[in-house]
Chain A
Amino acid sequence: MSDQTIGVPSGEPAATLFFKRLWRAIERLVDAVLLLRESVVGMVGAGLVAFWVIVALMPGWLAPFDPLQTILPLQKPFAPVPDAAGGGTFWLGTDLLGRDVLSRIIHGARQVLIYAPLATFCAYFVGVPMGLAAGYKRGWVDDVVSFIANVILSFPILVLYVVIIATIGASAFNIVLAVTFASAPGIMRIVRGLVLDLRNREYVFAAETRGESNWRIMLVEILPNARGPLIVDSCLRLGYVIITIGVLGFLGLGLPPPHPDWGGMINENRAMAMSFPHMAVFPCLAISSLVLGFNLLADGLREIALRD
């Protein structure tokens, strides 16, 4: 941490310095990932996440069928594919409309792995500056920001999602918007707590004495030192956002059909659950394993962070 206190060339613009620091943080993150080898739990989590990322990167190669193509409805897992459709096996069966469940899960992975990280990133993009400002400036800024956060957080969270989505319509953009709106206050609270602790450190006083601007101190001096808990939180939050997107899909407010959306798949096929449970069970396993991956990864990262 001592490299933050001394030798800061004060002539450099805050933005350049911020990105330099960001690059260094990414390097450290790579180191941390290498450290992850020491945590079995973390490795399992990273493995699960990596598996789904690979699936999401090349759905066209891995999926045996077009996720939107209607082939033969109501096939159980391992049922043979009719020769007219190319032969082979429906490994996970087909759904109510005769679409291959496996292919839909594979293509759904891409949906969820695009929108969940995007929404999480947007929430951080809004929440972090708010938390930094509230924790560092204190005074009326803190009062106002904290009150807004309290108001949003005291809403029953799902009501907020449902009302927002039901009002502005279900689309990918609106889901990202709703998640940002509802998660940013929580991030703001965490960042604020961390900043309240860090603002009294000597390197912050040193920067203040040098006459650094407020934003420079917040972004260059304080934020990099708050990264540990934030990285763990972002992993947990990513899992939570995946659940949220799944819940919205499950309630029929997710990505509009025929998108292969995991939550939506569960909702569409729930009606047939008493005769063909596989249609809903496999998407459930997919979403659970992805969330589990992020949660285990967060646990591994925390374990390593505590060891240092």
Chain B
Amino acid sequence: MLVFIMRRFGTMILTMIAVSILLFLLLEVNVGSVAIKVLGPYSSEDQRNIWLQTHGYLDPMYERYLRWLGHFVIGDFGESVRFKVPVGDVMWPRLGATAILGAATLLVVVPVSLGLGVLSGMREGSKLDRTISVTSILTTSVPEFASAVLLSAIFVYSLKLLPGTSGMSDGFDLRQLVLPVMVLVLYDFGYVARMTRASMAEVMTTHYIRTAVLKGLPYRTVILRHALRNALIAPFTVIMLQIPWLLSGVIVVEFYFAYKGFGALILEASLNKDVFLLEACTMVAVFVTVMTQMISDVGYTYLNPRIRFA
């Protein structure tokens, strides 16, 4: 197990290096345009060149990359080109805001999708199963920006129940969190529910469930004591994989509702070619992706002792 974790860490560092190089390369195309973003479209060629010179953009690419890498590993993420403050000052609060959004979403998604998935997997092919399956396909088919527009049209325009923006300009407001969470839940729960359903349906066809039913156990006991334990192993992995998605997949929702979170920050950074901010954000995203994967793998072996890593 220790070897496995160590190897995973090695791969993670390699992946992070590869991702950061790829990102640098992508931003390298037309790198001078960052000066226009900073100085504005009416800046003269000379002014741009001076800015690029003083900020080291005219050095060869590998030199700039290694300089960034050297600072990054000792925890100095550089200064945001756009916000003119250290990257950490912008990034950490935004990360916290998105964590709240993500946690609220998971808090709804997990019980709802597990419950619906188990219900529909319990009796495969039943009317309830078909209804739940079709509903989950329906909700995952509506893109986030579309459900954001539709839900705003209903709850903000027609019913005037909820605020249509989530900027949180007067401090934290729970009401402003409702619509973004609703959009994320609608888009996400169908997928987890379908995975749970598949897992539950598979367990229901096994011999030990048949045995339990045939020996006359109450149906409730069969489901709760025998089926659920095994059926919930696979959804655990699926739920873990929702965490990286909730970190960077929320770009659209945060942009739409003007929520000051990590996703919106990533979008802003990539539109502004804010290389240090974007590199730091991406590194956080990659780190979270790989970590959740590792936790889900380790958790999987813990939950399902039949699987062992060589």
Contact = CB atoms under 8 A, between A and B. Distances in A.
Interface of A: 41, 147, 150-152, 154-159, 162-164, 166-168, 239, 243, 246-247, 250-251, 263, 266, 270, 273-274, 277, 280-281, 284-285, 287-288, 291-292, 295-296, 299
Contact of B19 (A154, A243, A287): A154
Contacts, number: 134
Q: What is the interface of chain B mostly: helix, strand, loop, or mixed?
A: helix
Contacts of B120: none
A163 B19 contact: no
Contacts of B164: 273-274
A113 B247 CA distance: 30
Nearest to B137: A295
Given A154-B289, A158-B248, A281-B153, A263 B145 contact: yes
A280 B149 contact: yes
A246 B156 CA distance: 23
24 contacts: A152-B22, A155-B19, A155-B282, A156-B285, A162-B266, A162-B267, A163-B23, A163-B270, A164-B26, A168-B29, A246-B145, A247-B143, A247-B145, A270-B256, A273-B157, A274-B156, A274-B157, A274-B164, A280-B149, A281-B153, A284-B150, A285-B150, A288-B141, A295-B140
A126 to B, nearest CB: 17
Nearest to A279: B149
Nearest to A252: B271
B278 interface: yes
Nearest to B262: A156
B300 to A, nearest CB: 17
Nearest to A155: B19
B149 A291 contact: no
Nearest to B289: A154
B249 interface: yes
A291 B22 contact: no
Contact of B149 (A154, A158, A273, A295): A273
A280 B146 CA distance: 8
* List of 6 A-B pairs having minimum Cβ-Cβ separation, nearest first: A156-B248, A284-B146, A292-B141, A277-B153, A243-B143, A288-B142
Q: What is the interface of chain A mostly: helix, strand, loop, or mixed?
A: helix
Contacts of A296: 134, 137
Nearest to B248: A156
Given A154-B286, A247-B252, A251-B252, A159 B270 contact: yes
A288 B143 CA distance: 7
A158 B146 contact: no
A243 B141 CA distance: 9
B153 A159 contact: no
B169 interface: no
A40 B286 CA distance: 41
A166 B271 CA distance: 6
A276 to B, nearest CB: 9
Interface string B113-150: 00000000000000000000110011011111111011
Nearest to A293: B141
B166 interface: no
Nearest to B150: A284
Interface string B2-37: 000000000100110011001100110110000000
A295 B135 CA distance: 12
Contacts of A281: 149-150, 153
B91 interface: no
A151 B18 contact: yes
Interface string B273-304: 10000100110011001100000000000000
A157 B140 CA distance: 18
A162 B141 contact: no
A10 to B, nearest CB: 39
A287 B141 CA distance: 9
Contacts of A155: 19, 22, 282, 285-286
A287 B143 contact: yes
Contacts of A270: 149, 256
A246 B270 contact: no
Given A151-B18, A167-B30, A247-B143, A159 B248 contact: yes
A12 to B, nearest CB: 41
Given A41-B134, A251-B252, A162 B146 contact: no
